[in-house]
């Protein structure tokens, strides 16, 4: 069986993808520098899969180290590249930190592997900004990025497109995630936000457990059914499975071109107030929340057209918002009893 390298393998989406690759029978090697994750995730993965994961601690910005690693691992046939900085606010404050890390790592990886791999790139629906029509399809216009973080995703896609044009043997799939939330059903892995969570669902679970105060709903005067902003929330386990499907598609050589892009969402939008309600109903916990002003840089609503991913990847999200909330809550409770 092929061996797949998962960069950012101890991160939120990386760790869930490692489990799904293992379930699909792949050999996996995880890589991380623990800049935004914990080494304890490796123990958790061993408990879930019954097997200690192969792991390398490495900074992908270290060109020499990346070349040495790749030379030592000719058995790697696929790379799923999650390793990147992702905090929108921090990227505005420290743009060079984001441009340096997110581009050096990608360029070093491609240069070191040359054309020998199938690469999955972790992109984002942030490239669409506020789309002109919904649900947004993959061929919608890419809008000017609101933050350096968003810009790194847009430019990285362009770097990959340009590289694929002159490197026909290299295969790349960019996956544009909508809003990944939830946690593994074992509650042994999940999202580990640093400091005060900026994203909605980790804030909700931390508020419910008493780690944070009330939730602020950022705006209730949007042009949406209940006035709060709408997003396409997707369960991280569904998202992880789509990465396995993307690797399989590149292995089977059915792709029309050596660069492809797919939306990964459920196709269904939920408002902030609907998410709060789903959390309360599916967990039985009461949330304290208040309406506040809009958050700068937020779009009104975005949800994805998932026709292309259903057809091309043979993949469809299966878990609903209730399951997303329940699993996120179980993970938060696990963390309370077992702090990382």
CB of 9 to ligand UD1, least distance (A): 18
* Residues whose CB is less than 8 angstroms from the CB of residue 227 and which lie 6 or more positions away in sequence, other chains included: 219, 220, 221, 271, 273
**Residue 179 binds ligand UD1 (CB under 6 A):** yes
Q: Where are the alpha helices (DSSP H) in 286-320?
A: 307-313
Among 85, 203, 259, 279, binds ligand UD1 (CB under 6 A): 203
Would you say 98 or 203 has its CB closer to ligand UD1?
203
CA–CA distance, 142 with 135 (Å, rounded to integer): 15
- Candidate ranges 38-46, 69-77, 187-195, 292-300; the one touching ligand UD1 (CB under 6 A): 292-300
CB of 149 to ligand UD1, least distance (A): 6
**Residue 87 binds ligand UD1 (CB under 6 A):** no
Footprint (CB under 6 A) of ligand UD1, residues 295-314: 295, 297-298
CA–CA distance, 334 with 321 (Å, rounded to integer): 20
Would you say 45 or 272 has its CB closer to ligand UD1?
272
Would you say 117 or 125 has its CB closer to ligand UD1?
125
CA–CA distance, 15 with 231 (Å, rounded to integer): 24
Q: Considering 149, 177, 259, 334, which one is annotated as catalytic?
A: 149
Among 186, 198, 220, 277, binds ligand UD1 (CB under 6 A): 198
Residue 298 near residue 218 (C-beta atoms within 8 A): yes
Phi, psi values for residue 23, rounded to 5°: -60, -30
**Residue 231 binds ligand UD1 (CB under 6 A):** yes
**Residue 215 binds ligand UD1 (CB under 6 A):** yes
- Nearest CA-CA partner of 43 in 217, 186, 168, 225: 186
- Candidate ranges 4-12, 101-109, 193-201, 254-262; the one touching ligand UD1 (CB under 6 A): 193-201
Would you say 69 or 222 has its CB closer to ligand UD1?
222
Would you say 100 or 212 has its CB closer to ligand UD1?
212
Among 13, 80, 88, 335, binds ligand UD1 (CB under 6 A): 88
- Candidate ranges 5-13, 63-71, 97-105, 215-223; the one touching ligand UD1 (CB under 6 A): 215-223
**Residue 199 binds ligand UD1 (CB under 6 A):** yes
User: Which residues, listed in sequence order, are joined to residue 235 by a DSSP beta bridge?
Assistant: 181
CA–CA distance, 328 with 60 (Å, rounded to integer): 30
Would you say 13 or 164 has its CB closer to ligand UD1?
13
Would you say 66 or 238 has its CB closer to ligand UD1?
238
Question: What totals of helices (H) and strands (E) does the chain contain, helices first?
Answer: 11, 13
What count of other Cβ atoms lies within 10 Å of the Cβ of residue 75?
A: 10
* Residues whose CB is less than 8 angstroms from the CB of residue 217 and which lie 6 or more positions away in sequence, other chains included: 228, 272, 273, 276, 289, 290, 291, 292
- Contacts with ligand UD1 by CB under 6 A: the residue count is 19
Look-up: residue for tokens 């993970």?
331
Among 216, 308, 310, 316, binds ligand UD1 (CB under 6 A): 216
Whole-number Cα distances in Å, 3 to 125, 174, 258, 328: 28, 20, 20, 30
CA–CA distance, 335 with 178 (Å, rounded to integer): 25
Joined together, the tokens standing for residue 115 give 């054309």
Active site residue 149: yes
Catalytic positions are 149
Enumerate binding residues for ligand UD1 (CB under 6 A): 88, 124, 126, 150, 179, 198-200, 203, 215-218, 229, 231, 272, 295, 297-298
């Amino acid at each position: 069986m092929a061996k797949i390298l998962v960069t950012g393998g101890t991160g939120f989406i990386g760790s869930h993808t490692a489990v799904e690759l293992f379930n699909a029978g792949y050999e996996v090697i995880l890589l991380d520098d623990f800049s935004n994750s914990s080494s304890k995730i490796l123990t958790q993965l061993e408990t879930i899969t019954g097997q200690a994961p192969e792991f390398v601690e490495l900074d992908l910005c270290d060109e020499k180290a990346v070349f040495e690693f790749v030379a030592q691992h000719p058995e790697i046939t696929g790379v799923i590249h999650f390793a990147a900085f992702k905090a929108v606010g921090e990227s505005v404050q420290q743009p060079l930190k984001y441009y340096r890390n997110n581009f050096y790592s990608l360029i070093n990886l491609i240069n070191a592997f040359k054309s020998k791999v199938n690469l999955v790139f972790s992109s984002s629906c942030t490239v669409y900004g506020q789309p002109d029509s919904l649900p947004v399809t993959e061929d919608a216009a890419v809008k000017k990025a609101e933050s350096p973080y968003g810009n790194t995703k847009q430019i990285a896609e362009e770097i990959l497109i340009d590289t694929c044009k002159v490197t026909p043997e290299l295969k790349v799939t960019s996956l544009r995630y909508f809003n990944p939330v939830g946690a593994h059903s074992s509650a042994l892995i999940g999202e580990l936000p640093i400091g005060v969570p900026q994203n909605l669902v980790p804030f909700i679970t931390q508020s419910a457990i008493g780690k944070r105060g009330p939730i602020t709903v950022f705006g209730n005067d949007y042009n949406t059914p209940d006035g709060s902003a709408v997003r396409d929330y997707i369960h991280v386990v569904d998202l992880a499975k789509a990465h396995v499907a993307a690797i399989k598609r590149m292995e089977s050589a059915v792709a029309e071109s050596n660069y492809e892009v797919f939306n990964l969402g459920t196709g269904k939008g939920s408002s902030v107030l609907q998410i709060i309600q789903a959390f309360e109903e599916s967990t039985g916990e009461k949330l304290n929340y208040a309406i506040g002003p809009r958050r700068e840089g937020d779009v009104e609503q975005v949800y994805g057209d998932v026709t292309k991913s259903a057809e091309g990847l043979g993949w469809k999200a299966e878990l609903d918002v209730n399951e997303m909330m329940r699993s996120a809550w179980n993970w938060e409770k696990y963390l309370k009893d077992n702090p990382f």
